[in-house]
A and B are shown apart, each in its own frame.
Chain A
Amino acid sequence: MNEFKIAQREASNVNVLELRGYLDAHTAPKLEEAFQTLLKTNRTNIVVNCKDLSYISSAGLGVFMAYIEDVRNKSGDIKLTNMSNKVYNVFDLLGFPLLYEIFKDESEAVKKFNDKK
């Protein structure tokens, strides 16, 4: 059914969320929960790896919008990586690349966080 999973891990002081499956109005609360947990514990260097994300609707995009300000206010960021063309096109249609850094590969995003220090 509506399969959506998030795997979380830490890589060089950066928190990586790996998204898998379909991110729509039904599954968006799961992502919301993951961001909330990271924010509460002040883990705000966040990379969202979209390698296995097959679908995103505006409900999913809305979650990114809802947390980016709080994350940046805590000197962190949400960087996105490894998107398929299909998923990137939806981000692009809404102009999200103006607001979010999107990288081809997770390692580039992790490096950017660590170069900042």
Chain B
Amino acid sequence: MKKQTLKIDSKTEQLITVRDFVSQAAYASGFNDEEVSKIALAVDEACTNVIKHAYQYDAKKKISITVGDSNGNFEVSIVDSGKQFDPKKIKQPDMKEYLSSYRRGGLGVYLMKSLMDKVEYDIEPGKRNQVRLIKQLPR
């Protein structure tokens, strides 16, 4: 599948558009319903994090989502130019401990990692943040 890019305003109401865009691309790459749902959810989580944390709900900002196949993988890249973060500081929560303390939030990254094969970050301080969500193409 050829690369395709969707550019959206940093607004939560755009999440449904993102999920539709990514789902269509994932179906075109041969994934089944279950896998498509997982990919769409992972991308929703990544975009929600950008809207909340990188842009802190500034709706004038833009997020760019690119989908495509390469080297046997389906890859979704989400790029923003908001507040940078250090991916090393994101801890994988211990879910048992998490649930027993009734906390909320912080589940997005855990979900992204559980739903995809690989989650990679590429941060250029002050310029752009990129997160790449990767899943092996179905054989």
Interface string of A87-99 (1 = CB under 8 A from B): 0001001111011
CB <8 Å contact, A90 and B41? yes
Chain B residues 42-89 with CB under 8 Å of chain A are 44-45, 48, 51-52
A80 to B125 Cα, complex, angstroms: 43
A58 to B, closest residue via Cβ: B107
CB <8 Å contact, B16 and A94? no
Please give the number of chain B residues whose Cβ is less than 8 angstroms from any Cβ of chain A in the complex. Answer: 28
Interface string of B77-109 (1 = CB under 8 A from A): 000000000000000000110110011110110
For A62, the chain B residues whose CB sits under 8 A away are 104-105, 107
CB <8 Å contact, A2 and B44? no
Looking at chain B's contact residues, is the secondary structure mostly helix, strand, loop, or mixed?
helix
A24 at interface (Cβ–Cβ under 8 A)?
yes
Looking at chain A's contact residues, is the secondary structure mostly helix, strand, loop, or mixed?
helix
A82 to B131 Cα, complex, angstroms: 35
Chain B residues proximal to chain A, CB less than 8 Å: 11-13, 15-16, 19, 34, 37, 41, 44-45, 48, 51-52, 95-96, 98-99, 102-105, 107-108, 110-111, 114-115
Identify the 4 closest CB pairs spanning chains A and B, nearest first: A26-B12, A58-B107, A62-B104, A65-B104
